[in-house]
Each structure stands twice: as C-alpha cells, then as structure tokens.
Homo-oligomer: A and B are copies of this chain.
Amino acid sequence: MIPTITAFERSPDRGRGLARDMRVRWALEEVGQPYEVRLLSFGDMKEPAHRRLNPFGQIPTYEEGDLALFESGAIILHIAERHPGLLPDEPNARARAITWMFAALNTVEPPVFERSLTFILDRDKSWYADRMAVLDERVHARLGELSHHLGSADWLDGAFSAADLLMVTVLRRLGSSGMVEKFPNLSDYVARAEARPAYQRAFGAQLEVFNSTSSAG
C-alpha cells in the first residue's frame, strides 16, 4: 500500500529541505518505498480535517490504509520497523540506534529549534544579542558532546541508521550559522549523509515542490 504524507505547500525555508517532511521522504527513499504527498497551506494545517490527523496542526502526517500517524520520529520508527535498512537487526544495536533517534529529537533538536525560533521571531528585540549568545552556547555545548562521541566514526553507532537520518536533519537546521563547521567531523558527517542517493532523491522531491508552487504564485 502506497502511504501518503503531508508537506508544506510553500515551505518557509525556500526549498532548503529543513521542514520535517524531508525526514520522512528520506526514510522512504532509503527503504525504496514509493509514497504520495498531499500539500497543505498554513491555513489547511489548522483546519479540523488536518487536526484529525495531527491534533497539533503540523506536518508531516503519514497515512497508510486505516493507520494515521504524526510526529516525524514516530513515522520514521514505523518505517524502520517495517523495512530493512534503517535499524540494525541485533537487539542491543537496535535499542542503541533508537536511543540515538531520541537523542537527536530530545537532546540536540530542542536548543537548535529554540535558536531558529529566536533568530526568526526576536531579531528586533532589545535583548536579542544577549539571548542569542545564551542559545549559541547551549547549541555549541551539545555539538561539542556530539562531536566527541562521533570521533572519527562515519555514523553514530555502527552502520548508517534512522538515528543518523534524524541527527543530520537536526544539524542541517543550523544552516549558514557556521556552528556545525566549528566541528569538522560533524560537517563531514552531514556531507556524508547528504551524499547518499536516497537523500538526494528526497531533497530533489521537496525542492521540486518549492519550485513549482513558487513559480505558479
């Protein structure tokens, strides 16, 4: 059965693939599962029809027959449990990969996301510089810990897994801040992931949405 995911009709990142549908597209490409996409405006996301799929009115969602899921982490775990290629088979290695999925979303993403939010919403505030310095320090500390763990390894724990997929999408949100580049092993890690054919296909697919909806506008 071909699943359907939702994505922004007009992504605020202008095609840079920073929205959370990118994660799900990438996971589906890694396992070779075709999918369909339903595009939503910001208005559509807050309508009852979409809130029945995701009570918090966000993208992405994932529909497959009777099943409707939300939360990119849960969707990716669901895909990883049903297809080979995103989680190791050996039970302890699998549990460790899932630990790193949660680490990407709960330990690394929150300060990164908070920083993006401040960058977008609070630039005109008197306390912007002050606040940004605190957030930069929080993000920098997390990246330092991550860099130390990664060392000279290619991936977080053995072979590429759903944990790397999530961690790389989190690191990519730091975009042109230069914060990732302070840790050369982390920039290499992101580049290594971006070079994967599945990443390239997913990135191309979301860019095509941006190009077609922005030229039509």
List A residues at the B interface (Cβ < 8 Å).
51, 55-58, 66-75, 77-78, 92, 95-96, 98-99, 101-103, 105-107, 109-110, 113-114, 125-127, 130-131, 142, 145-146, 148-149
The residue in A96, A101, A106 that gathers the most chain B C-beta atoms within 10 A of its C-beta is: A106
Nearest to A149 among chain B residues (CB) is: B55
Q: Which residues of B contact A110 (CB under 8 A)?
A: 109-110, 113-114
Q: Do B103 and A70 have beta carbons less than 8 Å apart? A: yes
Q: Which residues of B contact A113 (CB under 8 A)?
A: 110
* A189 CB to nearest chain B CB (Å): 14
* A100 CB to nearest chain B CB (Å): 8
Q: Which 4 A-B pairs have the closest CB atoms?
A: A71-B102, A55-B149, A74-B99, A127-B127
Q: Do A145 and B57 have beta carbons less than 8 Å apart? A: yes
Please name 25 pairs of A and B residues whose Cβ atoms are closer than 8 Å in the assembled complex, sorted by A. Answer: A51-B145, A55-B145, A56-B103, A56-B145, A67-B92, A68-B96, A69-B96, A71-B99, A71-B102, A71-B103, A71-B107, A73-B106, A74-B95, A74-B98, A74-B99, A74-B101, A74-B102, A75-B99, A78-B98, A102-B105, A106-B109, A110-B110, A110-B114, A125-B127, A126-B127
